[in-house]
């Protein structure tokens, strides 16, 4: 039974390490979400700058169209003979000039907005780069921890075979079957109660366990039962034989 309990302790350590190996990569999921958010922020900042430049180009294009129209009207002035038509064309040209002035003011305003947006973009890039570096560092720590856990687990797994070989042949397959559905598979008998499911064990089984006559399983949960005094006696006997 001592060897079986040692094997169970080892198996539980291995299982714990395997669980941690699964959990650690999940910690990086939040960093992936953070990366996506930062990427979205940067793209939004870049899009703001591009949009302002595009508006500037549109205003410049509008100004060029109106200037071309003014030149066209200016060439038509000399061929107009009626005074009313001449005044109407001058009025149209004046209106185009006012529209150009408004567009030029808009371009100046857009240039100021673009300068501010560009400065904000540079600040965002610096901030985001620092945050990404921090994320990379934390992910590297997680990768290091995962590597250590995997190494430790493999080392423990190497020692499992020799330890399992020390378990009584009739106990090992029973233990393997039980631990697939119950963990721990081997539990102490506490007074007359199973240490796994905490249900009362039949008196006859309790007596046989205390007498250390045979290995019994709990009739409720199927776990293998042992009593601590039997282990202490076995340990003391082993020490006496060694002496």
Matching residue, tokens 């020692």: 159
Structure tokens at 22: 């699964």
Residue 212's pLDDT is what? 83
Residue 80's pLDDT is what? 83
Residue 139 backbone phi and psi in degrees, to 5 = -65, -35
Which uninterrupted H or E stretch holds 216?
A: strand 216-217
Q: How confident is the model at residue 234 (pLDDT cuts 50, 70, 90)?
A: low
**Residue with the larger pLDDT of the pair 2 and 15:** 15
Residue 180's pLDDT is what? 93
What does the mean pLDDT of the chain come to? 91
Q: How confident is the model at residue 36 (pLDDT cuts 50, 70, 90)?
A: very high
Give all strands (DSSP E) within 106-152, no chain letters.
Answer: none
**Is the domain defined by 2-164 classed in CATH 2.10.77.10?**
no
Terminal Cα distance for the chain, rounded: 22
Residue 191's pLDDT is what? 87
Does this model's pTM top 0.75? no
Mean pLDDT value of segment 100-116 = 96
Q: Taking the CA atoms of the chain, what radius of gyration do you get in angstroms?
A: 42
- Distance of alpha carbon 49 from the chain centroid: 31
Please give the full DSSP string across 22-48, using - where no structure is assigned: HHHHHHHHHHHHHHHHHHHHHHHHHHH
Report strand pairing: 186-190 vs 224-226. Answer: parallel
CB-count burial class (<10 Å; 0-12, 13-18, 19+) for 3: middle
Residue 242 has pLDDT above 50, yes or no: no
| Nearest partner of 3 among 195, 166, 147, judged by Cα | 166
Structure tokens at 134: 């921090």
Residue 233's pLDDT is what? 61
63-106 pLDDT, tens per residue?
Answer: 999 999 999 999 888 888 889 989 999 999 999 999 999 999 99
Residue 241 has pLDDT above 70, yes or no: no
Asked if residue 216 lies in contact with residue 209, where contact means CB atoms within 8 angstroms, the answer is yes
**Packing angle, helices 83-164 and 2-77, rounded to 10:** 170
Residue 238 has pLDDT above 60, yes or no: no
Distance CA 103, CA 122 (A): 28
| Nearest partner of 10 among 222, 168, 227, 161, judged by Cα | 161
Q: How confident is the model at residue 236 (pLDDT cuts 50, 70, 90)?
A: low
43-65 pLDDT, tens per residue?
Answer: 999 999 999 999 999 999 999 99
3-state secondary structure at position 166? coil
Residue 213's pLDDT is what? 75
Mean pLDDT value of segment 23-28 = 89
Domain with CATH 1.10.287.1490 in the chain: 2-164
CA angle 168, 170, 176 (to 5 degrees): 90
Q: How confident is the model at residue 40 (pLDDT cuts 50, 70, 90)?
A: very high
Structure tokens at 163: 């330890």
């Amino acid at each position: 039974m001592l060897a079986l309990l040692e094997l169970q302790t080892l198996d539980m350590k291995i299982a714990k390490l395997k669980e941690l190996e699964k959990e650690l990569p999940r910690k990086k999921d939040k960093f992936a979400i953070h990366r996506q958010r930062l990427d979205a922020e940067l793209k939004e900042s870049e899009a703001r700058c591009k949009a302002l430049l595009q508006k500037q180009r549109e205003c410049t294009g509008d100004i060029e169209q109106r200037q071309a129209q003014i030149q066209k009207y200016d060439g038509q002035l000399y061929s107009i003979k009626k005074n009313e038509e001449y005044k109407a064309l001058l009025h149209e040209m004046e209106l185009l000039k006012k529209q150009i002035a408004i567009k030029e003011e808009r371009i100046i305003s857009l240039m100021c907005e673009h300068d501010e947006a560009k400065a904000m973009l540079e600040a965002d890039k610096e901030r985001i780069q620092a945050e990404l570096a921090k994320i990379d560092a934390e992910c590297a720590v997680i990768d290091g921890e995962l590597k250590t856990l995997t190494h430790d687990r493999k080392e423990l797994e190497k020692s499992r075979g020799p330890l399992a070989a020390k378990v009584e042949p009739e106990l090992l397959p029973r233990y393997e079957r039980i631990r697939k559905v119950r963990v721990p598979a081997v539990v102490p008998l506490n007074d007359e109660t199973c240490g796994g499911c905490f249900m009362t064990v039949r008196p006859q089984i309790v007596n046989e366990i205390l007498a250390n006559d045979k290995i019994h399983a709990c009739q409720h949960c199927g776990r293998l039962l042992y009593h601590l005094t039997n282990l202490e006696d076995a340990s003391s006997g082993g020490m006496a034989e060694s002496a």
